[in-house]
Structure 1
Amino acid sequence: MKVTLNGTVLADSNETIAVENNHYFPPSSVKKEFFADSNTSTVCGWKGTASYYNANVDGKTVKDIAWYYPNAMEKAKNIENYIAFYKNKVTSE
């Protein structure tokens, strides 16, 4: 799986984990230089509290483009710190 924004690769991995129709990327496969922490958080009943990233590519910021679970609940420990992207904000291949 590969995720791009305006032609720039944000993440690329053969080892994503699919959960609820989203691909979660290992942290090492995400190009962190394009990301900044967001103040947004949400709660999932079985995964826990999600934190979000904003992305900046070519001077354009896309808010809350991706999320991850820094302290995932027990049933979601396999995706702890893995990063998923909003499909309507990026291109996936």
Structure 2
Amino acid sequence: MARAVWNGVVLADSDTYELVEGNVYFPPDSVRKDVLRPSPTHSTCPWKGEASYYTVEAGGAENKDAAWFYPDPKPEAARIKDHVAFWRGVTVER
């Protein structure tokens, strides 16, 4: 089981997840969409492809680009398509 928490709010909770390079990638249906706002930020990983970001808004505060996902990953990373990972102060327990 894995859980992502920030500012006292559970952002994601799942019995299944993907672990890649030490990061927990939560299945899309386990993530609270109401706390995520699309961000214009993108980054590129040589083997996973282009990542898109979300800003987390929870508990009355904002955490810019604290979540990311791969909407169209390279074949080597297909298993994390649309899965969401967190950083920037978000606590991920597993």
> Do both proteins adopt the same fold according to a TM-score greater than 0.5, normalized to the shorter chain?
yes
Alignment check: 8 A CA contact 2:35 2:58 kept:
yes
Corresponding residue of 1:9: 10
Alignment of 1:21-36 (within 5 A): 21-36=22-37
Alignment check: 8 A CA contact 2:7 2:61 kept:
no
Corresponding residue of 2:83: 82
Distance 2:59 2:22 in 1: 29
Corresponding residue of 1:53: 54
Q: Counterpart of 1:70 in 2: which secondary structure?
A: coil
1:58 Cα deviation from its structure 2 partner:
2.4
Distance 1:58 1:89 in 2: 14
Is the aligned partner of 1:62 residue 2:63?
yes
Q: Counterpart of 1:75 in 2: which secondary structure?
A: helix
Alignment check: 8 A CA contact 2:86 2:92 kept:
no
Runs of 4+ in 1 over 4 A off after TM superposition: none
Is the aligned partner of 1:20 residue 2:4?
no
| AA in 2 matched with 1:44 | C
1:45 Cα deviation from its structure 2 partner:
0.6
Please report the RMSD computed on the Cα atoms of aligned residues, expressed in angstroms. Answer: 0.8
Distance 1:11 1:30 in 2: 4
1:6 Cα deviation from its structure 2 partner:
1.5
Point out where structure 2 has 5 or more consecutive residues left out of the alignment. Answer: none
| AA in 2 matched with 1:83 | V
Fraction of identical pairs, as percent: 45
Aligned pair count?
92
| AA in 2 matched with 1:90 | V
